[in-house]
């Protein structure tokens, strides 16, 4: 009999003890099965080889494609690198041109105040006399202008007067380390009064003072205020009638020659007793306010504040032979003019008709001719003297029309 059992995969014979195999049946059948399986396996193997070959060809093609991609990537990287280098060079060259047309930080800082940066503390350096010391009009002026006062003025001094004269004061200001010289906006040199009273030649002293200031304070305006003069006559305090005139002349010449600003301040308070401490040549608080206002207006706005013309009504007191008819006394820019009508009867030759105010007294006797008298057309010679007295030098009666003009210097 045929085999009882079969193999699982091909169904080949598996004989037991009682089985009787046959050559032509069991053996040949098993051989056919094996041959058929071998043939199938060969076909499958050949098919697999073909597939493997195709896979290998595909892989080879992929390798070639990868190589081509790698080459393209390398070419792209090379082109990108070259383009980047070109762009960087172009940007650098462009930046170089732009930088060449720009300020450096130092140049920019010197020209412009940085945003949110603290502005420099601007200062005014002051040198002068007792009428100019700290606490007087310079303090009020600086406070109103919003700048810091650096005051080196000392009482009893002058441009060339005293051991602590203006030149010494200026040197102290230059050496002072509490402020930057570059931040000084104004240098104020004020009041030749003490020099005038001592008849001191101030020319060389003022030249030195201005020259030192210009060298040290390169950003500053150098301003010379001539005199803080008392309300009374400009010559009443001088030992020489020419003392103040000589000082003022020298100040104007030096300022013109050495690049400083000259401001004639000697008339700012002339004729106003209310601006001075009684019996003194020093400004009181009211005078300090006036002087600070006028000086500040000049520094800020460039307006030299020559006082507007002022009219004064005065009466000439004297003997019983004439009346107290008021006359008009006018002050304008240092010139005094007197006009009006004097009424009198039997006025003798050389009669003293009275006194004009002290501040208006001329430096030298003023001679003139009035018109009037009994006929109304007589010429009556008169004189106005430095001691303030007005005299006529011809007898007359009636009305006398008088007019005269003179300089306070």
pLDDT of residue 232: 61
- For residues 288 and 318, membership in a common domain is answered with no
Q: Are residues 10 and 60 in the same domain?
A: yes
pLDDT tens across 55-74, in order? 888 888 888 888 888 888 88
* Band (231; pLDDT cuts 50, 70, 90): low
pLDDT at 108 > cutoff 80: no
Domain residues for the domain of 357 are 310-407
My answer on whether 65 and 141 are in the same domain is no
Rounded Cα–Cα distance for residues 370 and 148 (Å): 56
Looking at 61, 82, 102, which one is the last position of a domain? 102
Q: Are 261 and 392 within one domain?
A: no
What is the rounded average pLDDT of the residues 245-261? 93
Q: Answer with the one of 77, 102, 127 that is the final residue of a domain.
A: 102
pLDDT confidence tier of residue 382, bands split at 50, 70 and 90? very high
**What was the pLDDT predicted at 102?**
67
CA distance 71 to 352: 126
**What is the secondary structure of 348-385 as a DSSP string?**
PTT-EEEE--GGG--SS-EEEEEEEETTS-EEEEEEE-
For residues 258 and 203, membership in a common domain is answered with yes
Output the pLDDT for position 368: 93
Backbone angles phi, psi at 21, to 5 degrees: -70, 160
Pair 43, 135 in one domain: no
Per the model's pLDDT, the better-predicted residue between 319 and 83 turns out to be 83
User: Tell me, what CATH number does 382's domain have?
Assistant: 2.60.40.1830
Average pLDDT over residues 160-182: 96
CA–CA dist 89, 267 (Å, integer): 72
Q: Domain ends where: 81, 102, 123?
A: 102
Domain count, the chain: 3
**Judgement on whether residues 174 and 297 belong to the same structural domain of the protein:** yes
- Is the same domain home to 296 and 338? no
321 and 187, same structural domain?
no
Residue 403 contacts residue 366 (beta carbons within 8 Å): no
Asked if residue 263 and residue 120 are part of one domain, the reply reads: yes
Task: Answer yes or no: do 135 and 233 share one domain.
Answer: yes
pLDDT at residue 139 is higher than 90: yes
Residue 269: what pLDDT?
A: 81
CB 353 within 8 A of CB 390: yes
**Confidence band of 221 (pLDDT split at 50, 70, 90):** very high
288 and 142 within one domain: yes
For residue range 389-407, list pLDDT tens digits in order: 889 999 888 888 999 999 8
């Amino acid at each position: 009999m045929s085999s009882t059992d079969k193999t699982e995969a091909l169904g080949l014979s598996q004989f037991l003890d009682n089985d009787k195999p046959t050559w032509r049946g069991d053996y040949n059948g098993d051989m056919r099965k094996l041959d058929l399986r071998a043939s199938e396996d060969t076909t499958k193997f050949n098919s697999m080889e073909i597939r493997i070959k195709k896979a290998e060809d595909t892989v080879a093609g992929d390798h070639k494609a990868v190589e081509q991609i790698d080459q393209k990537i390398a070419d792209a990287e090379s082109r990108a690198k070259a383009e980047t280098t070109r762009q960087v060079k172009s940007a650098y060259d462009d930046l170089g041109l732009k930088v060449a047309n720009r300020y450096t930080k130092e140049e920019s800082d010197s020209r412009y105040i940085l945003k949110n940066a603290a502005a420099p503390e601007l200062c005014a350096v002051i040198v002068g006399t007792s009428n100019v010391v700290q606490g007087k009009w310079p303090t009020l002026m600086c406070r109103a202008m919003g700048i810091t006062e650096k005051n080196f003025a000392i009482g009893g001094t002058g441009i060339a007067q005293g051991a602590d004269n203006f030149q010494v004061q200026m040197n102290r200001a230059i050496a002072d380390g509490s402020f930057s010289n570059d931040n000084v906006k104004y240098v104020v040199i004020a009041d030749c009064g003490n020099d005038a009273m001592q008849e001191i030649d101030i020319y060389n002293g003022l030249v030195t003072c201005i020259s030192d200031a210009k060298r040290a304070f390169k950003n500053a305006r150098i301003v010379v205020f001539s005199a803080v003069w008392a309300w009374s006559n400009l010559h009443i305090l001088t030992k020489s009638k020419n003392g103040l005139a000589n000082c003022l002349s020298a100040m104007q010449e030096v300022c013109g020659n050495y690049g400083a600003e000259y401001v004639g301040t000697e008339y700012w308070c002339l004729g106003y007793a209310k601006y001075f401490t009684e019996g003194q040549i020093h400004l009181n608080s009211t005078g300090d306010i006036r002087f600070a206002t006028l000086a500040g207006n000049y520094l800020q706005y460039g307006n030299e504040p020559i006082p507007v013309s002022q009219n004064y009504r005065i009466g000439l007191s004297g003997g019983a032979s004439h009346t107290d008819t008021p006359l008009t006394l006018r002050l304008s820019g240092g010139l005094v003019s007197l006009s009006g009508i004097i009424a009198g009867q039997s006025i003798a030759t050389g009669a003293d008709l009275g006194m004009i105010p002290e501040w208006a007294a001329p430096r030298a006797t003023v001679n003139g001719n009035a018109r009037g008298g009994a006929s109304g057309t007589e010429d009556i010679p008169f004189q106005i003297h430095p001691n303030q007295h007005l005299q006529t030098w011809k007898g007359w009666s009636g009305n006398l029309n008088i007019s005269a003009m003179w300089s306070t210097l």
